């Protein structure tokens, strides 16, 4: 009897042991399946498009926002957002606290992993403002004031000198000193930020060009280099002519000849210019009238392009001292070394104009 009782106890123990292990196995398998399902859902979510329609959503991440705030903002705009998965992804990649302020665009087919990389690497929406080759300071200011994506801090009635003070360059010249190019920036960029950036870009570039200029130039400093470049910029829009026109002006300066260039006269006329230069305009003396005054005008007359600055620093060699437009719509000019040849080209130019009427 004792043996039977003992056997029963052993069997009961074995049954309980097996059952407990079976339960543990079931629990473990359940956890494993659940973890596998979670992992599948997590990976599937992170690799799936956030938007299934052809549209985009803008998310404004302000300075100081943490991951929770950003993800709540995202979910309010995009209810399908899985906040938990994104936070886990942030922890796994060690970037949960790397979110950067900016305006971010969620586009069609963008994956959550792409979104997270975008906001943690600061790839915010970029807006642009272009300073056009040949603009004057006044034209640049007018265009800047109309840009809808720039925060306007200037009132519009500041003098150029006051603006130079506001951007940190008090007392320095302004006309011609801003680099014509397209500037990219995030939302919240101020007008004075654009101006400061453009001014410093031009300063850096001119310093570089000045160091590599033709040493025989009749130019004393970088201010005169910009002044000459601005005249070249206004005289032609044909790229291959810039260095040749630069050569004409350099040789005139070397020979003590007046530059006699219409763009400087126009600049000197200011608001009096109405689209046509009259003989009286050429005779009216202003600091910018290169028909009545020797040498370069006192300041640049426009924002010269990179190409015009290069041309001014490295003019083309030759003997031409004059040029006149071809008048054939190409924008090109005819160059001459003698006044007689130039006068003939001028007569031919006027004849083409008359025949075209």
pLDDT of amino acid 42: 81
Q: Could you give the CA distance from residue 317 to residue 321 in angstroms, rounded to a whole number?
A: 11
Q: Could you give the CA distance from residue 54 to residue 46 in angstroms, rounded to a whole number?
A: 19
Q: Which domains does the chain have, with CATH numbers?
A: 57-120 (3.30.1490.480), 127-207 (no CATH), 216-355 (no CATH)
Would you tell me how many other CB atoms lie within 10 Å of the CB of residue 38? Answer: 12
pLDDT of amino acid 163: 97
H-type alpha helices, 149-190: 160-166
Find out whether 311 and 232 touch, Cβ atoms under 8 Å: yes
Find out whether 301 and 231 touch, Cβ atoms under 8 Å: yes
Q: How far is CA 33 from the centre of its chain?
A: 52
pLDDT of amino acid 10: 58
pLDDT of amino acid 117: 93
pLDDT of amino acid 304: 97
Cβ density class 188-224: b for 16+ within 10 Å, e for less? bbebbbbbbbbbbbbbeebeebeeebeeebbbeebbb
pLDDT of amino acid 28: 62
Q: Residue 158 has which token pair?
A: 């500041």
Would you tell me how many other CB atoms lie within 10 Å of the CB of residue 49? Answer: 14
pLDDT of amino acid 352: 78
Segments in the chain below pLDDT 50: none
């Amino acid at each position: 009897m004792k043996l039977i009782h003992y056997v029963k106890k052993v069997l009961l123990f074995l049954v309980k042991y097996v059952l407990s292990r079976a339960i543990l196995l079931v629990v473990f398998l359940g956890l494993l399946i659940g973890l596998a399902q979670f992992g599948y859902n997590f990976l599937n979510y992170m690799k799936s498009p956030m938007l299934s329609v052809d549209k985009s959503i803008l998310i404004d991440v302000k300075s100081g926002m943490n991951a929770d705030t950003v993800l709540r903002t995202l979910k309010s705009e995009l209810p399908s957002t899985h906040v938990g998965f994104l936070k886990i992804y942030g922890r796994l990649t060690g970037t949960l606290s790397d979110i950067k302020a900016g305006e971010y665009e969620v586009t069609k087919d963008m994956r959550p992993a792409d979104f997270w990389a975008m906001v943690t690497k600061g790839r915010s929406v970029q807006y642009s403002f272009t300073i056009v080759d040949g603009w004057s300071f006044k034209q640049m200011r007018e265009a800047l004031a109309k840009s809808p994506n720039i925060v306007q801090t200037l009132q519009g009635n500041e003098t150029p000198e006051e603006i130079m003070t506001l951007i940190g360059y008090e007392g320095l010249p302004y006309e011609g000193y801003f680099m014509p190019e397209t500037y990219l920036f995030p939302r919240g960029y101020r007008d004075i930020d654009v101006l400061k950036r453009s001014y410093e870009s031009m300063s850096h570039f001119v310093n570089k060009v000045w160091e590599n200029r033709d040493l025989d130039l009749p130019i004393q400093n970088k201010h005169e280099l910009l002044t000459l470049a601005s005249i070249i910029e206004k005289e032609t829009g044909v790229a291959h002519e810039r260095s040749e026109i630069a050569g004409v002006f350099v040789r005139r300066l070397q020979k003590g000849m007046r530059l006699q260039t219409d763009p400087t006269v126009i600049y000197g006329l200011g608001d009096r210019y109405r689209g046509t230069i009259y003989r009286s305009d050429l005779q009216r003396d202003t600091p910018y009238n290169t028909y009545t005054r020797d040498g370069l005008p006192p300041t640049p007359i426009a924002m010269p392009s990179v190409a015009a600055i290069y041309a001014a620093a490295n003019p083309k060699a030759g003997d031409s001292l004059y040029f006149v437009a071809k008048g054939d719509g190409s924008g090109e000019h005819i160059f001459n070394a003698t006044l007689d040849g130039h006068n003939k080209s001028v007569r031919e130019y006027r004849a083409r104009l008359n025949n075209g009427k």
